[in-house]
Amino acid sequence: MIKATVYVTVKKGVLDPQGVAVQGALHSIGFQEVESLRIGKYMELTLDTNDRAEAEERLKAMCEKLLANTVVEDYRYELEG
Amino acid sequence: MKFAVLVFPGSNCDIDCYKAVEEIGESVDYVWHTATDLSAYDCILVPGGFSYGDYLRCGAISRFAPVMAEVAKAAEQGKFILGICNGFQILTEAGLLPGALRRNESMKFRCHDTVLKVVNNETPFTREYAKNEEVIIPIAHGEGNYYCDEETLEALRLNNQIVFTYGDNPNGSIADIAGICNERGNVIGMMPHPERAVNTLFGSEDGKRMFTSILKSWRDSHDTASIS
């Protein structure tokens, strides 16, 4: 078994309205040091394989095909086990 | 002429689309998302709603529904495909139209009439409008903020693929874009709902001409005498 973690965030340069709203909220309650804030998605996957290279290749395909929309989102992942 | 209205789990503007086709007196069927044959249809309407609960991203899961392979085939064959609201999101996720729809800049779900400018009246969907005509068509969405990169935007402009723009941009869309078509002009996606503006009882009938435009385009290409 391999555990995979996928992080999807709005691309740099693409407006993240949620991030902007939350940043504004932090400012309004006294956290002025917050210079930027971006909200993303966190996904945990358990993969039924022990072949790390294959797992990585297939995970990348999952990100490209479904988990992220690369027109507006970036993704990165970590593999464990 | 035969219209199909696709129905995904979570579609909620399918009945409006169906009624809009009835309004122009043409034949229409609901087609479930598991269908694998669209050969009987001349125009495919991808309706609004929250297909698959908008899980992950709007349209991300629906674009893998069995019927979508048939929609791609129909697009290839030059059939008319109109994606409205969630239908537009599905068509971009499927890669049949460029760009993506993001959360509205205001973070609010906007549901009201909008004034649209008909930028391109040469598509099969807009030929009954005048160029630069202003029409009133309602929007109802939380994620209609159109985005594409500079290069794509330039291509959209160059190929005259921007079909509708907003008079007063309600969602932060790049270049005030409300609707676009593919390069060939047979696939169109738009956030506003023309099917909700087909009778003065609804407050506007400006959307009806989209449906009559499609019919006219179909008749022209099939050399059928106009009955109405």
- The tens place of each residue's pLDDT in chain B, 228 residues long, gives 999 999 999 999 999 999 999 999 999 999 999 999 999 999 999 999 999 999 999 999 999 999 999 999 999 999 999 999 999 999 999 999 999 999 999 999 999 999 999 999 999 999 999 999 999 999 999 999 999 999 999 999 999 999 999 999 999 999 999 999 999 999 999 999 999 999 999 999 999 999 999 999 999 988 765 554
Distance, CA of A32 to chain centre: 25
Of the listed B85, B93, B128, B181, which one is catalytic? B85
CB contact under 8 A, A17 and B103: yes
Chain A: nearest CA to B145, how far in angstroms?
10
CB contact under 8 A, A72 and B102: yes
| Mutate: best of B102, B148, B151, partner A, most A CBs <10 A | B102
Of the listed B43, B70, B93, B193, which one is catalytic? B193
| Residue-level pLDDT, tens digit, chain A, 81 residues | 999 999 999 998 888 989 999 999 999 999 999 999 999 999 999 999 999 999 999 999 999 999 999 999 999 999 997
Find all residues with CB under 8 Å of B46, minimum gap 6, and list them: B6, B71, B81, B82, B83, B84, B86, B87, B88, B90, B91
pLDDT of residue B115: 98
CB contact under 8 A, A18 and B103: yes
SS3 label, residue B69: helix
Residues of chain A with Cβ-Cβ distance to B93 below 8 Å are 69
- State residue B142 phi and psi, 5-degree precision: -105, -15
pLDDT of residue B224: 63
How far is residue A71's CA from residue A3's CA, in Å, rounded to a whole number?
27
Residues of chain B with Cβ-Cβ distance to A67 below 8 Å are 56
| Distance, first Cα to last Cα, chain A | 7
- Residue range B58-102, pLDDT digits in tens: 999 999 999 999 999 999 999 999 999 999 999 999 999 999 999
Q: Determine whether domain A2-79 maps to CATH 3.30.1280.10.
A: yes
CATH architecture designation of domain B2-227: 3-Layer(aba) Sandwich (3.40)
CB contact under 8 A, B172 and A18: no
CB contact under 8 A, B145 and A17: yes
Look up B195 and say whether it is catalytic: yes
The DSSP H or E segment spanning A44 is strand A40-47
Look up B85 and say whether it is catalytic: yes
Residues of chain A with Cβ-Cβ distance to B109 below 8 Å are none
CB contact under 8 A, A14 and B64: no
pTM of the model: 0.94
Write the residue in B100, B105, B149 that is nearest to A17 by C-beta: B105
List the 76-95 stretch of B: residues with Cβ below 8 A of A.
92-93
- The three state secondary structure string of chain B is CEEEEEECCCECCHHHHHHHHHHCCCEEEEEECCCCCCCCCCEEEECCECHHHHCCCCCCCHHHCHHHHHHHHHHHCCCEEEEECHHHHHHHHCCCCCCEEECCCCCCCEEEEEEEEECCCCCCCCCCCCCCCEEEEEEEECCCEEECCHHHHHHHHHCCCEEEEECCCCCCCHHHEEEEECCCCCEEEECCCHHHCCEHHHCECCCHHHHHHHHHHHHHHHCCCCCC
pLDDT of residue B227: 55
